[in-house]
Copies of this chain bind each other. A is one copy, B any other.
Amino acid sequence: MRREEPLTRSSQDYLEAILNLSEREQNVRITDLANHLQVTKPSATGMVKVMSKQGLLQHDKYGPIQLTEEGAKQAHLVRQRHRALKDFLVHILGVPHKTAEKEACLMEHSISMDTSERLYLFLRENLTK
């Protein structure tokens, strides 16, 4: 059972948000998600429905949201890219945290796994930490 549809910008954002939220609270709800992503609840409901159909998460009416195995896997990849980009912006370029956060959020959808890994290695070598 392979995933066909590529992740959209939006679904990546949703995945990452759900992953982050699920590490802080044991139940991720539509409202949390909507707040986190700055969208309205109906928007979150709609997207969750789509992602559920794509097998990225599990959600029953009025219930909590849970990533599937596939969803979690993808979410981790997305987050890894996000972090690498943010680290680059903050620690290499000196971009302020807030801006870096915002821009990493946008950029993360544009880079391939390969590039993400290269960035990762680059950071390893250049972050005196």
Instruction: Mark A residues whose CB is within 8 Å of B.
Output: 89, 92-95, 99, 103, 106-107, 109-112, 114-115, 118-119, 122
Q: What are 21 sample pairs from A and B whose C-beta atoms fall under 8 A apart?
A: A89-B115, A92-B122, A93-B115, A93-B118, A93-B119, A93-B122, A94-B118, A95-B114, A95-B115, A95-B118, A99-B112, A99-B114, A99-B115, A103-B110, A103-B111, A103-B112, A106-B110, A106-B111, A107-B107, A107-B110, A107-B111
The winner among A89, A106, A109 for most chain B CB atoms within 10 A is: A106
Chain A at the B interface: SS class: helix
Complex contact B109–A106 (CB within 8 A)? yes
> In the assembled complex, how far is the CB of residue A14 from the closest CB belonging to chain B, in whole angstroms?
18
A111 (CB) vs chain B CBs: closest residue:
B103
CA distance A117 to B59 in the complex (A): 44
Q: Which residues from B are CB-within-8-Å of A92?
A: 122
> In the assembled complex, how far is the CB of residue A120 from the closest CB belonging to chain B, in whole angstroms?
10
Complex contact B112–A110 (CB within 8 A)? no
Q: Which residues from B are CB-within-8-Å of A110?
A: 103, 106-107, 110
> In the assembled complex, how far is the CB of residue A24 from the closest CB belonging to chain B, in whole angstroms?
26
